[in-house]
Chains A and B, each alone.
Chain A
């Protein structure tokens, strides 16, 4: 096999597949990237057996063939080359010769036949949406996934496609994020996908602000096709809890907050809430919000904010990280916090179909 390529274009492709290359794989071939050279195009692929990424790269094909080469090493070599025109030739012993300007490299690969095959998604359903919608859906919910290993249904995002709506939900049992989008899909398209957290992270790396993504899925597998770049993954097998029941149907107070100002104040106040003491107290009184943290033996903090509030006095404790998480992943200037009392969940909303339910924290005084 033989090809010529442009250094930057090839690096781009390698970068996309590189993050799924098994780091300390016990199967040597998994540290390699598969390079397939065909008349109709050149493709790179890598997999760690849970995920697989395949992407096309622009190149001039001189002779068809396929091989696998150590992905990290290939990446470093190509990145360091001084000239942008590069030629690669691989012999039948899977030894690749890379030449560019005065540089000459030989690297040993492994036969393409040792490399895993991509799954065939038999009887897959599929739909196509704008990449920026999926990107936004993941961004607004991913941080709420559970990080405890073991509760695998919660180590996932639930994507639901139903009645022309895409809903993305994540929860760790203490807070829940939900984001919804109107779609214009062919009649009858529906499905539920539980995307593992690792898959979510990979999709977030590959997805762009423009273009379309086609999502094909079966019972237990999914493929995201982002205009040529494909990501294959398993789906989590399990039943997602009935999250609708935890969303409060009504709350007593609705408070408008300036997101930037509020999150900066919260961030400062939480400097005195640490790992050992993850709580800040929000006290809402007439036109006033006071955010306090108190760390035994360390000290305390207090932030005062003028707000527009006419409701009853409420004092409620939250884990500041949970609140900062949602603030960082929203772009709106104005956010709303809905509250009832200090024992009931709080709900953050924006002027779009999004909500974030967060359970309060209390200090048990003996």
Chain B
């Protein structure tokens, strides 16, 4: 008896559906992709019951003939590729010919379509993969696909669907992704018969020079003004790879990746090369462990990217991963660097710059306990236990149920109005660490260490870029011995070290002699410092770039030089730090990417005091 049998198509389609259609949102995705591929300029998505009861996608694309419509419900029927050679350079979103038959096999499915030059259209009804009826129908040019009762014939799958609200959330996300991917297309989202989004078509977006503007407008309609103002344009091209779009200004960050949107040749995808490249490109402008906001479009020859690696096409693989990552890093660096007007507050153009002067030179902290000198040499008498002696009283300002105010990313980097007068005024300092100040935008809390670090960092970087670093010779040159790996890494960086003002000579083998240091660098543990920097830069991957090496070295050194978290500073010293911070290119983060300041606008305070309901002000 033969055991092996060819499965009936309906069963095969249901199995495929398991991969293609996971939930209502995946059906929406497949349908809007077909509409996009079908050259629509208007796409409407209607949803009921979180997509579980109804999904209806209507477009004004080129539509299908009666024969095409009948074909498209067959497995592996596609108009988009013809032979295996085409698979290596796919320029459409669909290519497998699987979506429609899969969806139709697990729902009550209706397709209406008319080619623009055809007098009448066609209507197909399919229930659980079985063709119920084919008839002529009067309808608008384009295609409408209706999916009712998804998974009605697969109760096990239906059971796994989540609440309407959750499913709806996923649908929203898919909708959002595609509307961002295609600003040229007009999009409408209707939910339970209410219009949720109605985004006008911007056909001009197809012209590369108009795309950034159109994208901004699209983001504005989806997110509001505030986010748009915190984005800077990116446009960079190298070796046939072009990256463009918008990314968050330095200081704008999120706690997860949910606002990192990337599109490869118009397809929304997750790409490690883009994510890691971007985070690396931000470097000190992004707090460690936080994520940037981006809307990035990568254009690359279709043959250089593989889209056929993920069942839902959510991931792509680049044939030259490192190249792409490099493009992203460089693009982000340039975008962030050219944006220098991102001040803490804008100075009125006529007023003089705050003059940095010697008043910021601090007295060194009173000799703090050092390794050889930390053991008390007098044994205290019957001293009470230190624990009892230091009741840990809750810090003032602390909130009972959230130890620290959650650092909301948005308020942190709210761009400040340029027409308002400058000025940030110190009110006091908390725990010898947090400077409490006000300016025209509201309350500002500044981390004195992080802020001073940023100030020093930029001073040193500036000095270096001016090409005239100072170098203080040492009385006692220091010999540094490195591991073979570190030694060869350093050898490639000798020029950079000289540029910073470090007098270093290769003594052969793995020894180096250091006989001069820039005045802001302390000579202690220079060996450890260099090793840390090499580790750090190597951890970031892809070799050590010169800028990165210098930046890392300087960031680490100024950290030691900056005022400490526990240093008691006088009001004018605090003011001085704030004034200098205002003049920084990148005032919102310390060189390690931690925030230097938190901002609470009156609106934010109103919300926290319950004077205004969350979210109601929009």
Contacts and interface: CB of A to CB of B under 8 A. Distances in A.
Interface of A: 26-30, 47, 49-50, 52, 113-119, 147-153, 155, 171, 173-176, 196-198, 220-221, 232-234, 236-238, 241, 245-246, 274-279, 296, 319, 343, 345, 357, 359-366
B26 interface: no
B603 interface: no
Contact of B524 (A151, A236, A345): A151
Given A49-B376, A155-B367, A279-B470, A359 B475 contact: yes
B371 interface: yes
A319 B472 contact: yes
Contacts of B366: 198
A153 B451 CA distance: 31
Given A52-B378, A174-B474, A357-B475, 14 more contacts: A29-B381, A49-B377, A114-B380, A116-B380, A148-B522, A150-B522, A152-B373, A238-B372, A275-B361, A296-B466, A296-B468, A361-B470, A361-B472, A366-B468
Contacts of A241: 476
Contacts of B469: 363-364
Nearest to A68: B381
Contacts of B398: none
Interface string B173-203: 0000000000000000000000000000000
Nearest to A194: B372
B452 to A, nearest CB: 12
Contacts of A236: 370, 372-373
A149 B368 contact: yes
B456 to A, nearest CB: 9
Contact of A29 (B376, B380, B516, B523): B380
A365 B476 CA distance: 24
Nearest to A23: B366
A47 B373 CA distance: 15
A220 B368 CA distance: 18
Contact of B476 (A52, A119, A173): A173
Looking at chain B's contact residues, is the secondary structure mostly helix, strand, loop, or mixed?
Answer: loop
B617 interface: no
A171 B476 CA distance: 10
A236 B369 CA distance: 11
B391 to A, nearest CB: 11
Contacts of B468: 296, 363-366
Interface in B354-373: 356-358, 360-361, 364-373
Contacts of A50: 369, 373, 376-377
A117 B379 contact: yes
Given A296-B466, A359-B473, A359-B475, A26 B389 contact: yes
B378 A117 contact: yes
Contact of A174 (B467, B470, B472): B472
B373 A116 contact: no
**A-B pairs, 6 with minimum CB distance:** A49-B376, A152-B370, A147-B364, A359-B473, A116-B378, A366-B467
10 contacts: A116-B379, A148-B523, A173-B476, A246-B476, A274-B357, A319-B519, A361-B471, A362-B516, A364-B468, A365-B468
A221 B375 CA distance: 12
B378 A150 contact: no
B498 interface: yes
Interface string B554-566: 0000000000000
Contacts of A363: 468-471
Contact of A276 (B390, B463, B471): B463
B360 A155 contact: no
Contacts of B394: none
Contacts of B384: 27-28, 114
A362 B467 contact: no
A14 to B, nearest CB: 20
Nearest to A361: B472
B382 interface: yes
B405 interface: no
Contacts of A52: 378
A16 B322 CA distance: 68
B380 A175 contact: no
A148 B382 contact: no
Nearest to A278: B519
B525 interface: yes
B386 interface: yes
A196 B371 CA distance: 12
B492 interface: no
B163 interface: no
B380 A150 contact: no
Given A27-B386, A174-B475, A274 B525 contact: no
B510 interface: no
Contacts of B525: 150
B45 to A, nearest CB: 57
Given A26-B390, A234-B373, A236-B373, A173 B475 contact: yes
Given A149-B368, A152-B372, A241-B476, A221 B471 contact: no
A152 B372 CA distance: 7
B33 to A, nearest CB: 54
B586 to A, nearest CB: 18
Interface string B518-533: 0100111100000000
B173 to A, nearest CB: 49
A366 B466 CA distance: 9
In this complex, which of A153, A241, A245, A363 has the most chain B Cβ atoms within 10 angstroms of its Cβ? A363
Interface in B295-344: none
B227 to A, nearest CB: 36
A196 B373 contact: yes
A113 B459 CA distance: 54
Interface in B494-515: 498-499, 501
B372 A362 contact: no
A362 B468 CA distance: 9
A123 to B, nearest CB: 16
A186 B400 CA distance: 69
A366 to B, nearest CB: 4
B357 A117 contact: no
Contact of A197 (B367, B377, B463): B367
Contacts of B373: 50, 152, 196, 234, 236-237
Given A28-B384, A363-B470, A173 B523 contact: yes
A241 B476 CA distance: 9
A362 B498 CA distance: 12
A125 to B, nearest CB: 18
Nearest to B358: A274
